[in-house]
Chains A and B, each alone.
Chain A
Amino acid sequence: MGYYFSVLIKIFISFIQAVGAHLTMSQAGIFFLAIPVSYSFMGYSLAILQKKFLLGFGLAFCGSLLSYLYVRVSHESFTVLTAASIVGFEAFLKSFSDLTGGVLGISGIMRPGFMKALPDIVLVSGCLMLTLVLIENLIFKAPFGRALRGLKESETLLESMSISANKIGTVVICLASLLSGIAGSLEALRIQFLDPTFGGFPNLILIASIAILSMKPSVRTLVLSTLFVVLLPEVLRFFSFNPSQMGHMRMLVYSIMLVILIRNLSGKFTSAQRIV
């Protein structure tokens, strides 16, 4: 039963994190690749302040909003810098071993009273996912959702309509960081162990795959993409791979899937193909 609960939590957590990637990458066209940094940052904040759950959560919450600083970076270096910050944060975690446990990480993370067992985490993350389904649905119907999609097509045109492209970008980046941070904290509470590889590029590949697969401004597509991407490597369990190889196999599957997606989907969602 624990396996099924874990898979369910993985789906819910991935969805929570993917909402941010869906809004930034797929809808606004902002290649904000630092999503795993806030995932890891919030997970570690909770782990370090594990006896003061609310303080840890509050600190991490504020920390996620620091992603605002990324907006100050020039357009040309934005994607590279956000990707580089994943490596930078991992190096920080390894270096400050007094605080973060270094390469050994932090084990035995305590869960708060209302999330003692896995079914509790299923419930909390499931409720969060449902709330986000409603919120994202609302965003797509609201001016903010249209502005996001407008930003992807033309920043100039958006500005000429008295909408600040910078403000829209800032809000969506902070939102993505925050959601990623929440997902990170839930995952940290689920596995109760963190090391510097928590988050990182494997997490980025997972979330970017979901975001690329769900290019349409539709929550249903995002849910289906999350289910597909999260459940895809579970098929590997039916083969008798060495457990130590499973992680690498999973990344291989995602990488192949990304290559196929990029090859086949590029140009499929342009207006010329979407005649109504």
Chain B
Amino acid sequence: MKRKKVLGIENLHVQLGQRMINEDISLEVYEGEIVGIIGPNGCGKTTFFNAISGFVPIDTGSVLINDQEVNNLSPNRRAALGLNRSFQNVGVFKELTLEENLMMAIENSEKLPWNWMLKSTTRSYVNEKIDEALEDVGLRGHKKSLAGVLSGGQLRLLEMQKLKLAGGDLLLIDEPTAGVSPVLRNELAAQIKGLSKDHGRTIVIIEHDLKFLFSLVDRIIVFVDGKKYIEGTPKEVQADKRLQEVYFG
């Protein structure tokens, strides 16, 4: 059976100023897959995410989401097509409460009308979903607190719940373990696996913690100097001597 291609990148070039950040990158990500991207600092991983989500203009090449070319679409239009992403510095609004952050995700994914909070049935439906999501990561007690009061790990868990509720079929997750304690990393990994298995999301992750990533993904892509250097299953990449070169010289 032919798998559905959720993300397609064809000969992507991104140049910022005089510097070529991404050079001739092509890849395909299929429905339900978890793909990891690794590489040394400054090799263009985050720029690659920014180019896919429309925050950085691409020079040549094309980005396809569900077989639709999105090169000329703004970031919000790409998100509306089902592309969701997290950010290195945590993609939640710290000045909004946990409840409000999740509310925004539900409003957008379920296309609720502007006056939904005036209808008691919709209100209780949204409340139930929020309670369930917060309960799932042990944050229900903080429902009315501002997200800014949470620890780094708790913020990541909240972000995962937000991504879960935000819908869409493609997730770009940028360094999920940054600032997260080892204990919470396991929970975070379980959340990401859950997003793929239980919610059918296709996920691309940038991560520096190789142990965390190898246990999570189906495929690994190694970036070096803005180019795709190695691609394969975690086993194949781990066995590849070039990986040692990239990280240890």
A interface list, Cβ under 8 A from B: 141-144, 146-147, 149-150, 152-154, 156-165, 270-272, 274-276
Q: From residue B203, how far is it (CB to closest CB) to chain A in Å?
A: 15
- Rounded to whole angstroms, the CA-CA distance of A146 and B97 in the bound complex is 10
**Chain A contacts of B146 at CB under 8 A?**
271, 274-276
A157 to B80, CA, bound (A): 13
A-B contact pairs, 8 of them (CB 8 A): A144-B114, A146-B96, A149-B93, A156-B55, A160-B84, A163-B108, A271-B147, A274-B146
B93's partner among A153, A270, A274 (CB-CB below 8 A) is: A153
CA distance A14 to B95 in the complex (A): 27
B 119-153 to A, binary, CB cutoff 8 A, 1 in contact else 0 = 00000000000000000000000001111110000
Residue in A closest to B115 when the chains form the complex, CB atoms: A142
Select from chain B the residue with minimum beta-carbon distance to A150: B93
B residues bordering A, Cβ < 8 Å?
53-55, 74-77, 79-80, 84-85, 87, 91-97, 100, 103-105, 107-108, 112, 114-117, 144-149, 166
- Contact status of A160 and B91, CB under 8 A, knowing A150-B96, A271-B149, A274-B148: yes
Verify B104–A160 contact, CB threshold 8 A: no
- Tell me if B79 and A159 are in contact (CB < 8 A): yes
Cα A143 to Cα B96 in complex, Å, equals 12
Q: Which applies to chain B's interface (DSSP): helix, strand, loop or mixed?
A: mixed
Given A157-B87, A274-B146, A276-B146, A146–B76 Cβ distance below 8 Å?
no
Within the assembled complex, what's the spacing in Å between the Cα atoms of A163 and B100? Answer: 15
Whether A161 touches B105, Cβ cut-off 8 Å, given contacts A149-B93, A153-B93, A153-B95, is yes
Complex formed: what's the CA distance from A228 to B109 in Å? 42
Given A271-B146, A271-B149, A274-B148, residue A162 in contact with residue B87 (CB < 8 A): no
Residues of A within 8 A of B53 (CB): 160
Pair B76/A162 contact, Cβ less than 8 Å: yes
Nearest Cβ on chain A to B102's Cβ, whole angstroms: 11
Q: Inside 8 A of B75's CB, which chain A residues have their CB?
A: 156, 159-160
A276 to B144, CA, bound (A): 8
Contact among A153, A160, A274 with B85 in the assembled complex (CB-CB below 8 Å): A160
Kindly provide the distance from the CB of B70 to the nearest chain A CB, expressed in whole angstroms.
Answer: 13
CB neighbours of A276 from chain B (8 A)? 97, 144-146, 149
Asked whether, in the complex, the Cβ of A161 is within 8 Å of the Cβ of B114, the reply is: no
Given A160-B91, A161-B79, A162-B80 in contact, is the A146-B100 Cβ separation under 8 Å?
yes
Q: Identify the interface centre among A141, A149, A158, A160: most chain B CB within 10 Å of its CB.
A: A160
Q: Point out which of A142, A146, A162 has the most chain B C-beta atoms below 10 A from its C-beta.
A: A162
Taking the closest CB of chain A, its distance from the CB of B4, in whole angstroms, is 21
- A274 contacts which chain B residues (CB < 8 A)? 146, 148-149
Instruction: Tell me the minimal C-beta distance from A169 to chain B in angstroms.
Output: 12
Give complex CA distance A161, B93 in Å. 11
CA distance A156 to B117 in the complex (A): 26
B114 partner residues in chain A, CB cutoff 8 A: 142-144
A271: B residues at CB distance < 8 A: 94-95, 146-149
The answer to whether B107 and A149 have CB atoms under 8 Å apart is: no
**Inside 8 A of B144's CB, which chain A residues have their CB?**
276
| B149 touching A275, Cβ below 8 Å | yes
| In contact, A164 and B93 (Cβ under 8 angstroms) | no
Chain A residues with Cβ below 8 Å from B74 are: 159, 164
| Nearest CB of B to A172, in Å | 14
A residues less than 8 Å from B116 (CB atoms): 143
Could you tell me the distance between the alpha carbons of A152 and B94 in the complex, rounded to whole angstroms? 11
Contact A162 B79 (CB under 8 A): yes
CB distance from A270 to the nearest CB of B (A): 7
How long is the Cα–Cα vector from A110 to B174 in the complex, in angstroms? Answer: 63
CB distance from A88 to the nearest CB of B (A): 31
Hey, which chain A residues are within 8 Å of B105, CB to CB? 161
Tell me the minimal C-beta distance from A220 to chain B in angstroms: 18
Decide if A157 touches B112 in the complex (CB within 8 Å).
no
Chain A residues contacting B104 (CB-CB under 8 Å) are 143, 146-147, 150, 161, 163
**Roughly how many angstroms separate A165 CA and B76 CA in the complex, as a whole number?**
8
On whether the beta carbons of B117 and A142 are closer than 8 Å, the reply is yes
Query: What are the residues of chain B within 8 A of A156 when measuring CB–CB?
Result: 55, 75, 87
A146-B107, A271-B95, A276-B144 given; name 20 further pairs at CB < 8 Å.
A143-B104, A143-B112, A143-B116, A146-B103, A150-B93, A150-B96, A150-B104, A152-B95, A153-B96, A156-B75, A157-B92, A159-B54, A159-B74, A161-B76, A162-B79, A270-B95, A270-B148, A271-B146, A274-B146, A275-B149
CA distance A215 to B147 in the complex (A): 18
CA distance A271 to B75 in the complex (A): 27
Q: A149 — which chain B residues lie within 8 A by C-beta?
A: 93, 95-96
A158 to chain B, nearest CB (A): 8
